[in-house]
Chain A
Amino acid sequence: MVVLREGMCPGLDEDLLRDLRAADIKTVEDLVSSDIEGLAQKCSVSYKALFAIRRVLLAQHTAFPVSGADLYEELLSSTAILSTGNPSLDKLLDSGLYTGEITELSGGPGSGKSQVCFGVAVHISYQLKQSVIYIDTTGGLAASRLLQMLQAETSNTEEQMEALQRIHVFRLFDVYALLGCLYSLRSGGLQQASVGGGSVKAVIVDSVSAVISPLLGGKQNEGMSLMIQVAGVLKTMAKDFNVAALVTNHVTRSGSGEVQPGLGVSWSHIPRTRILLERVEKAAAVSRPSLRSAKLIKSSRQPCHIKEEFDLQWWSRSEKGSSGKRKLDETDS
């Protein structure tokens, strides 16, 4: 809804605006959908002038059609696939996180969602030398853990610090703060964060369900609306700035006892790719508590329900073989 204001376009002056209001035309949508001929008579303005105003306003507020050929050309030059740093996950994701899309990790407590997010952030900032926006809504981000992962990559302190600087962390704990943060990132914040490092290639929200799920339920629609707004700004940001969005979600059980991602049916349409993380419940897993299984439950590129097993310690392994000694930080939320 765009309210008509004076000076929005040439010819739209105070008098005309008053006449339009009197004719119950208050927004651009009202004006564009109205019968121009009748309206011109009512507001005693020439048909030609009003028609010109309508055309200018329409051109200002419409989305322009782009030829598919041009769009494809642009995509070829701008799309990137960001490796997660973990071969098993990359295999599930068809070689990594695609820019311009939302990828979702869901799983119960301790299934390794946050650990995967840390690993991805470190890999993108250190290996790919690109900036990452990390939005932490649970307070679960431990800088020491990021450093630990980086130490496994390099022993050069300067390089470690550089990589840490490329990870921009936002801590916020309610949906309004999240929306505010995302809107400000979309309107310029992303470019600012790019200064001094690689450009921002990934936005990680861990977790999106922590701020949204408390609002759902009951008879109110407000929670649903806020959820779709968060989804909308993430999607437009991903497309317009060519960043990969990675979000985490909790899990619920369906009526038949099946584990499924949370946030309900309306959210299920939002992520392009969804991965379900689970602990491996096997005898062999006792000796390796960091073993997790990842199941692809939605994808447009790979057949669904393929499964991979991976070790959360992958990101903190080091070539010297000291990874076995390192205890995994299990503060996942």
Chain B
Amino acid sequence: MLCTVYILEQSSVTVCASPQLLARLEARRCLKDIEPRLFPEDGGPDQGAVVELFGLEGTGKTELLYHLLCRCVLPEAAGGLEVDVVFVDTDYSLDMLHLVSILDSKLTLLAGADEAALRSCLSRLLVVHCYSSSQLLLTLHFLETTLSSRPALALILIDSISAFYWVDRCEDGVSYTKQEEKLSRCAELLGRLLRDYRITVFATCHAIRRPAVPSSSSDSERSYLCRSWQRLVTHRLLCSRQKPGNNVAGEGGDDQEQRRHQIFTVHCTTTSSMVKASWSSSFCVTEAGVEFLLESEENKCAARQ
């Protein structure tokens, strides 16, 4: 036993010279407090956590990502965390103009904010576009150098991790493992990056099946991606959209007004080995991005530890 410990120490001493480890030793910002309203108390994503945002089209996944992205790149004076973020855009869906309008609305709260403040926010963001799972894998490898040269980089956003699912399913013959190979390689590499650089990952995953019966949570919510990805995920955010007319606030209210305030619900489950917890929150989307609604009674019931 003593012997193993000794060897482990030895090997880490030899690696110590590499720049990777130096970057590792420099403390990266922990993102546990990235959005307290989204996660159960004290259950925010720690360093090395992977959060999957799962849902159908139009359930606010990308909007939530923008919200988190803004929170990270905004200066501390405007309630941000001032960390660097990589946005991996596999869906080719990043709407920069929308992102800037969200940033703008948050910056105007800050006295003396100008164009330069916006630019400095945006310079904390790195964007990569990937068009195939092979390119995603190679890009992740390439990002390792970026990670080791930028200690302020604490978050990787992937929109979406499921983008190449169908193309991969068809490409490599009949063997299921062969079809999943690329994504599982990406997941394994991500796992190593998470360990080595203590970063946090948020990734969206599109639902590919419509729920057969509304409000039944079975097949349609199950993850269909490869096992190695599922093992990485520590938090799962199930996104859904409340049917217009279903919400309490809409009762007797103006029909048009109600439609404008489409309410989205997020249900968070943490799957870390320590505690199992769940949490619900809801938000609506305005010009200024995501706006969380006040905690409702159901939330208190849902938060069980």
Contact = CB atoms under 8 A, between A and B. Distances in A.
Interface residues on A, range: 35 or more
Contacts of A58: 138, 141-142
Contacts of A68: 73, 87, 96, 121-127
Contact of B206 (A71, A221, A224, A266): A266
Nearest to A234: B92
Most buried by B among A61, A62, A228, A229: A62
Given A33-B137, A69-B122, A265-B57, A225 B167 contact: yes
B105 interface: no
A44 to B, nearest CB: 24
B67 interface: no
A1 B168 CA distance: 11
Given A66-B128, A232-B167, A265 B56 contact: yes
Contact of A65 (B92, B127, B164, B185): B127
Interface residues on B, range: 35 or more
B93 A228 contact: no
B21 interface: no
Most buried by B among A33, A69, A269, A305: A269
Contacts of B97: 75, 79
Contact of B170 (A224, A232, A305): A224
A28 B138 contact: yes
Contacts, number: 145
A239 B92 CA distance: 7
Interface string B253-274: 0000001101000000000000
B169 interface: yes
Interface string B127-144: 111110011011101110
B123 A69 contact: yes
Contact of A225 (B91, B123, B170): B170
Given A68-B123, A79-B97, A304-B259, A61 B138 contact: yes
Interface string A221-240: 11011111100100110110
B100 interface: yes
A33 B122 CA distance: 31
Interface stretch (B23-31, B32-40, B45-53, B207-215): B207-215
Interface in A211-251: 221-222, 224-229, 232, 235-236, 238-239
Given A69-B119, A236-B131, A32 B170 contact: no
Given A266-B166, A266-B208, A62 B135 contact: yes
Contacts of A221: 166, 169-170
B182 interface: yes
Contact of A222 (B86, B170, B259): B170
Contact of A232 (B73, B124, B126, B131): B131
A29 B166 contact: no
A32 B145 CA distance: 13
A75 B96 contact: yes
Question: Is chain A's binding surface mostly helix, strand, loop or mixed?
Answer: helix
B276 interface: no
Contact of A66 (B57, B63, B91, B127): B127
B129 A272 contact: no
A65 B86 contact: yes
Contacts of A222: 170
A229 B259 contact: no
A63 interface: yes
Nearest to A260: B210
A58 B98 CA distance: 32
Contacts of B122: 67-69, 71-72
Given A1-B134, A67-B122, A75-B96, A228 B166 contact: yes
Contacts of B9: none
A303 interface: yes
Contacts of A27: 134
B56 A298 contact: no
Interface of A: 1-2, 27-29, 32-33, 58-59, 61-69, 71-72, 75, 79, 221-222, 224-229, 232, 235-236, 238-239, 254-255, 265-266, 268-269, 272, 298, 300-301, 303-306
9 contacts: A71-B127, A72-B100, A228-B163, A228-B164, A239-B92, A265-B209, A272-B93, A303-B259, A306-B259
Given A32-B141, A226-B170, 4 more contacts: A67-B123, A68-B122, A236-B129, A300-B95
